Amino acid sequence: MQPLSGLLVLDFTTLLPGPLASLMLAEAGAEVIKIERPGGEDMREFSPEWDGESAAFALLNRGKAGLTVDLKKPEDRAKLDELLQRADILIEQFRPGVMDRLGLGYETLHARYPRLIYCSISGYGQQGPRADEAGHDINYVGNTGLLDLQPGPIDHPVVPPALVADIAGGTFPAVINILLALRARDQSGEGAHLDIAMTDAMFTFAWYALALGQARGAFPKPGELTLVGGSPRYQLYRTKDGRLIACGALEDKFWLSFCRVIGLDDTFIDDARNPAATKAAVAARIAERTAEEWRPLFAAADCCATIVEPLARAVRDPHFVKRGLFAHGVESQNGSVMPALPVPIAPIFRDQIRLNKKAPPKPRG
């Protein structure tokens, strides 16, 4: 028996934050019904196509059932009545007020279904001056000061490689608070309205910058923090063949070992004296050898220095394969199988049979 077996989730969300949240709930045993407009949600059209459907959509919606509903039509909304009577969780990702206008807002549904846990995911939350403002991940990390901590060189700013606001600000808080709400419902018998704003958690990620700013009265400038480029000990260095070394030798024991491995001149080991000079000296030493020449040396030293791996190689790493991250699959409607998206649900809570699970078929009409 999985921990969420017997629970029904109605998923009104699209794209990434909500669908990933409901995927995690499904992986823990919940029944998830994805509510889509006629023709399907936008992500069904995302490339690349895989066996006649979107690979991205298939990864995020594995194991869910599908239901086509035109929410603007009262007769179509009536299809939801029976489901709402037995639903435990509803997840929606519209702008604030949309569900209210459709007659599916929290207050309306709470009056009829008081045990329903209603989770709203939005960029800026249900109230506040920015509540109705459009945005995407880059806007959320930009508006909260997080991106400014390390935007990259002034003449070549870098777009972040991870959708931190969508996943760490939307998906994960949604799942955490849904589980908390289930526990609270066990005690009180009442559901709750969860207001998840993707921007809120971005301040959590700026924890150290906030501590510095509040303690000394001045917030750090871009690239100044130790863990965002300000220290030679926590840095990316380019090898002779253009690969990158990820150095995380923060503690003295790791730093001294790292310096010995690369043969750093004693003049630069005390990096507090002149961090920029030490950084330049380390970069010069790293550039003398290729990534594969450095690999065994760093592995033997165990000094928190590793080669930055491309994703194609990382997914074949024996460690991640051994941990079973890609051991189960998502199946297309035609029977093709590709590895399912790994999600951070502990194996003891997941489907131990590891059956392939399909994404919902494309809605018709």
> What residues are annotated to the active site?
136, 166
- Contact indicator for 17, 174 with CB cutoff of 8 Å: yes
| CB proximity list for 280: less than 8 A, separation 6 or greater | none
Other Cβ atoms less than 10 A from the Cβ of 105: the count is 18
Are the C-beta atoms of residues 248 and 293 closer than 8 Å to each other? Answer: no
How far CA 115 is from CA of 40, 119, 144, 272, 344, in Å, comes to 29, 13, 34, 57, 27
Q: Which residue has the tokens 């400038």?
A: 221
Residue 130, judged by CB atoms within 10 A of its CB (0-12, 13-18, 19+), counts as: middle
Taking a C-beta distance cutoff of 8 angstroms, is the pair 326, 40 a contact?
Answer: no
Query: What is d(CA 143, CA 123) in angstroms, rounded to the nearest whole number?
Result: 11
- CA torsion angle 130 175 106 187 (round to 10): -130
- The size of the chain, in residues, is 365
Quote the DSSP letter at residue 196.
Answer: E
Q: In terms of Cα–Cα distance, which of 203, 131, 169 is closest to 18?
A: 169
